[in-house]
Amino acid sequence: MERNMDRIYLDSNATTIVDPRVKEAMDPFFCQQYGNPNSLHSFGTEVHPAMRLAMDRLYCGIGAGDQDDIIINGCASEGNNHVLKGIWFDMIRQGPKNEILTTQVEHPCVRNSCAFLETLGAKVTFMPVNADGIVDAETLRRFLHPDRTALVSVMWANNETGLIFPVRELAEICRENGVLFHTDAVQAIGKVPVDVSRVPVDFLTFSAHKFHGPKGVGGLFIRKGLKLAPLLHGGEQMGGKRAGTVNVPYLVGMGVAMELAVENLAFEDSAVRRLRDRLEDAILAIPDTLVVGRRELRTPNTILASFRGIEGEAMIWDLNAAGVAASTGSACASESLEPNPTFVAMCISDDLAHTGIRFSLSRFTTAEEIDQAAAAIRRSAERLRGISSSYDKGK
């Protein structure tokens, strides 16, 4: 495979390398079978079997039933906007239920959509995480008001910490109370089992580029019988729920990527986890470091580490110069100077909270890369602490 052998990619929660099998499956749909699937001629109709196969792979991958819907869209940001704004339009606008319950640690596409809906009159409550960094059943019960909560939106796994939320329990509580439940499963697909036949979510969003598919295509699961106002009006694509010509090559790629993601779950849980733990052990062997969240509560590929006395961005630059790609938390939130709410809830001091660095692996990460990255991290920590005025070397 053509990979950049001189660089080490440890930012798979931001995006992933496209699996060559995905790329290969997409290829014929650019210059050969390029018809618009809504056309009546053979250029249009000949792409239908591939689209059907891709949809089957998506349904099968998340355990959706025939009567459920999966809307193909442009990204998870779109899917999350669609759920939140659709619920505002269908329910909140008319009352009496006017509240959205979400968490303080959602991706900005959820948080900012909620903030926008507040300006239209929705009441939004951002639930805090507990000392483990997750929203637990007790917290949800405390905040849930079945008479006024229209929707609960809680991510399946957090992009920065990798912490896995008890989505099944939370969805069951919502179901018992007649409240709709949405989960952003972007960071869960391909890392932990995601099965909507066992977890009673009403809406679920995912994005192909987080599981070795192409960027710019995602999916929104809608439980059978539920209605959701469209975000994009236009043609009758996706049963009128999302207008716009379907991106056939990307849908085909996402289907293959989903199938491979599910096939890979056992490998993720064993081999990727082992490499993650190896890197984590090496990081923790550096004095005055901390990793956020218990290992067993996290997706197998993620580490959010803090190095006392080191500015996160300084280490990112050092590592980048050494050919190692990591990130300071989420790339989408990298402009923000607010303390991370997970750090705050977990009582992690400000000093450490500003030094978070995320390392996220994938099934393509090798042991050799992990050992080289660990050595680069240690060298950078020593160098930066050597020139730091805030790090007390004698301590």
Residues making contact with ligand 7TS (CB under 6 A): 13-14, 75-77, 107, 109, 155, 159, 184, 186-187, 207, 218, 330-332
Using an 8 Å Cβ cutoff, are 196 and 204 in contact? yes
Helix H segments across 71-158?
76-90, 108-119, 137-143
Question: Least CB distance from residue 112 to ligand 7TS, whole Å?
Answer: 11
Question: Least CB distance from residue 376 to ligand 7TS, whole Å?
Answer: 21
The nearer residue to ligand 7TS, 39 or 334, going by C-beta atoms, is 334
The nearer residue to ligand 7TS, 33 or 158, going by C-beta atoms, is 158
The nearer residue to ligand 7TS, 15 or 177, going by C-beta atoms, is 15
Question: Least CB distance from residue 387 to ligand 7TS, whole Å?
Answer: 29
Using an 8 Å Cβ cutoff, are 13 and 360 in contact? yes
Using an 8 Å Cβ cutoff, are 392 and 330 in contact? no
332 is catalytic: yes
The nearer residue to ligand 7TS, 113 or 306, going by C-beta atoms, is 113
Residue 353 Cα distances to 142, 162, 311, 339, angstroms: 28, 16, 10, 7
**The two three-digit tokens of residue 47, written as one number:** 């792409």
Question: Least CB distance from residue 158 to ligand 7TS, whole Å?
Answer: 7
Identify the three-state secondary structure at position 296: helix
Amino acid, res. 290: L
The nearer residue to ligand 7TS, 91 or 326, going by C-beta atoms, is 326
Question: Least CB distance from residue 164 to ligand 7TS, whole Å?
Answer: 12
Question: Least CB distance from residue 201 to ligand 7TS, whole Å?
Answer: 15
> Residues 31, 75, 114, 332: which is the catalytic one?
332
Residue 154 pairs with which residues in a beta bridge? Answer: none
Give every CB contact of residue 21 below 8 A, 6+ residues apart in sequence: 256, 260
What gap in Å lies between CA 346 and CA 327, rounded to an integer?
21
What gap in Å lies between CA 25 and CA 16, rounded to an integer?
17
Count CA within 13 A, CB hemisphere, residue 276.
Answer: 31
The nearer residue to ligand 7TS, 149 or 153, going by C-beta atoms, is 153
Residue 241 Cα distances to 83, 114, 298, angstroms: 11, 21, 34
What gap in Å lies between CA 244 and CA 235, rounded to an integer?
7
Q: Which residues are catalytic?
A: 332
